[in-house]
Amino acid sequence: MILQALLAYAERDGLGDADFEPVGVRWQIPLTKGGRLSGRPIPLSDESTAKKPPPKTLSRPFSSPNELTQTGDKARAYFLCDSLERATLFLDPKFPEKHENRRAQHRYFRGLLTAAAHSTPSAAPLLRAVLAFLDNASALAVLHADLTAAKAKPNENVTFAVEGDDLLTVTALRDFWRQRRRAETGVAAASRATRICIATGKSAPTLDTTEKIKGIPGGLAQGTNLISFDKSSFCSFGLEQAQNAPLSPIAELKIRTALNTLVQHSREQHLVFNETIYLHWTREPVAHDPLALLTTADPDGVAHLLQSIRSGEHQVGLDTNAYYCLGLSGNGARIVVRDWLETTVGHIEASVAAWFDSSEIIDPDGVSLRSGHKLGAILYALVRAELDELPPSLPAALFYAILRGAPVPLPRTALAAALRRQSLDQRKPDDQRDPRLNPARLGLIRAVLNRLPNKPFTMTAQLDPACSDSAYLCGRLFAVFDRLQYLAQGQLNAGISERFYASACVTPSLVMGRLFRNAQFHLAKAGGGIAENIRKDFEEISTALGCEFPPTLTLEEQGRFALGFYHQKADYRRISTERRDERDAAKIAAATTA
């Protein structure tokens, strides 16, 4: 079913050019008609203003990467656009053992230009200019010096422009390459066996080997194979190589192009977690992909999605339009299928909306609700610096639990990672914000708790004074202790939160009694109307808790403790902001009256 879904996607979007492929090109070499440099190499990028500009995506004549691995007399290169080392002999000094083969590939590159010049008289002057430049050792030395100064890498792709004419866009050269490819594929097709293609179900000549898919994490730099039978133990019925899973050339081309397109799209969305990339597409086109909101958390898009679900607005056809999600990783030269989800657009839309709704949380300022968090922000809220700190299976488990929706619970490992980070994070003297008041992390904790089977409480997005859960009340009371200390002693380098949070959220009875006694002194020292209001919170929460603190808290109870602490802190910030605004308004009114 995976192959058929990919094939349908390629046919829907008109993907699959057998003779050309999109590729990132970093450099363009400007030449005159006489074959001289007309300037320094020009860096190419689709986003020139980005911090790390990606190479510009251009259409390059296709050659099989399998051919480029050959050496000696069989060495091959791409036509018109290739790496700096193959096209211009800008060799990598780190690998001197490869220099001889790179020179052989460079000779083949020039041979293709010569053959094209003979076959296309209209483009011959452009090609002769490039050949004249490549024959000029001193001109190449100047180019290499410019490339070194620009910190170019030998494996970066380069193309040529003669008097402003980019060779990759010359129609005569593109026609030449198509004719050459048809002649080559026609000879190969005559020797192919005719079998049933596993993607189309039709009888057709089938391939012995398939081309590589690029951009799969964990795979080889030159690409990774979806279908590979390189050992006899993998083969059956006397069949060899890809004949064990036969594909027609057209089906293989479309499936490969679909995968390459989807891989590039998912990389742009940062849907790569722990060496696994997640591809997603629909059977029929949709105006808005709900899964894309997981990576962007666009406020308008999230608000519109939640509104459409809550109001019952439903676009016709969503429940019949198939939605696919495919998880792939590389293992050397082979692709590993990690996960496969086939559902409907309507189900994905409802699942993503439910995720945003369940992870909604009050902002640390206590004023506004935050309904959307980027998936990347959620994951980075669970680590100190890098995602490698997470258990390898956690990102994938969380991602697929979100897509599958309730009643599938969110992974408990996500809750454990969030609580661990909540305990370890400490505010430093120069921090503007308390790292424990991370809305993305607390939103995840709330979502996990509300998706638990047989959950005893439904956790709200903001302070819930009516909640009687002892763990939630302990968290609120801990925030009261922290606030009283701040009012009595000001900002400290290591206050109650930094010193006691980790132990209070696990074994409240060992810590809260001591803090309870200290709070009496802080309350007496703080004084004033603010302290009086906090005293009321202190008495109200203490009365609800009773005469004993819980001895230990389970993982779920630690999550409710964290929410209670966060909610109470956010509410205090809201009150402080309102009082400050009232004072400012009173000052303005007094000044106006005077």
**Residue 486: which of 530, 454, 529 has the closest Cα?**
530
Segments in 407-456 forming alpha helices (H): 412-424, 439-450
Positive or negative CA dihedral for 92, 98, 101, 103? positive
Whether residue 312 contacts residue 350, with contact meaning beta carbons closer than 8 Å, is answered with: no
Q: What is the structure's pLDDT at 185?
A: 72
Give how far Cα 146 sits from Cα of 52, 186, 278, Å: 20, 43, 39
Q: DSSP label at 526?
A: H
**Residue 22: which of 84, 67, 81 has the closest Cα?**
81
Cβ-Cβ contacts under 8 Å for 504 (sequence gap 6 or more)? 474, 478, 511, 512, 515, 561
Across 165-302, the runs of DSSP E, i.e. the strands, are 165-166, 194-196, 203-205, 272-273, 276-282
Q: Which residues pair with 326 in a beta bridge?
A: 279, 340
Across 72-166, the runs of DSSP E, i.e. the strands, are 82-83, 157-162, 165-166
Give how far Cα 503 sits from Cα of 438, 476, 478, Å: 19, 15, 11
Instruction: Identify the burial level of 88 via C-beta atoms within 10 angstroms of its C-beta, where 0-12 means exposed, 13-18 middle and 19 or more buried.
Output: buried
Domain ranges in the chain are: 19-186, 464-594
> How far, in Å, CA of 568 to CA of 115, rounded?
76
Whether residue 468 contacts residue 559, with contact meaning beta carbons closer than 8 Å, is answered with: no
H or E element in which residue 361 lies: strand 361-362
Whether residue 356 contacts residue 369, with contact meaning beta carbons closer than 8 Å, is answered with: no
Note the pTM of the prediction, 2 decimals.
0.79
The separation between CA 550 and the C-alpha centre of its own chain, rounded to angstroms, equals 41
Give how far Cα 450 sits from Cα of 98, 115, 353, 399, 442, Å: 58, 68, 14, 17, 12
Whether residue 423 contacts residue 505, with contact meaning beta carbons closer than 8 Å, is answered with: yes
Q: What is the total residue count of the chain?
A: 594
**Residue 453: which of 502, 386, 407, 391 has the closest Cα?**
407
pLDDT in tens, the chain (594 residues): 899 999 999 999 888 888 898 899 999 999 999 999 999 999 999 887 888 888 999 999 988 877 777 777 788 899 999 999 999 999 999 999 999 999 999 999 999 999 999 999 999 999 999 999 999 999 999 999 999 999 999 999 999 999 999 999 999 999 999 999 888 776 666 667 788 888 888 888 888 778 889 899 998 888 888 888 877 766 776 677 777 788 888 888 899 999 999 999 999 888 988 889 999 999 998 888 888 888 888 888 888 888 877 776 655 455 789 999 999 999 888 899 999 999 999 899 999 999 999 999 999 998 899 888 889 899 999 998 888 888 888 998 999 999 998 888 999 999 999 999 999 988 776 777 888 899 999 999 999 999 998 888 899 999 999 999 999 999 999 998 888 888 777 777 778 888 899 999 999 999 888 888 877 777 767 666 666 777 888 888 888 888 788 999 999 999 999 999 999 999 988 988 888 888 888 888 887 776
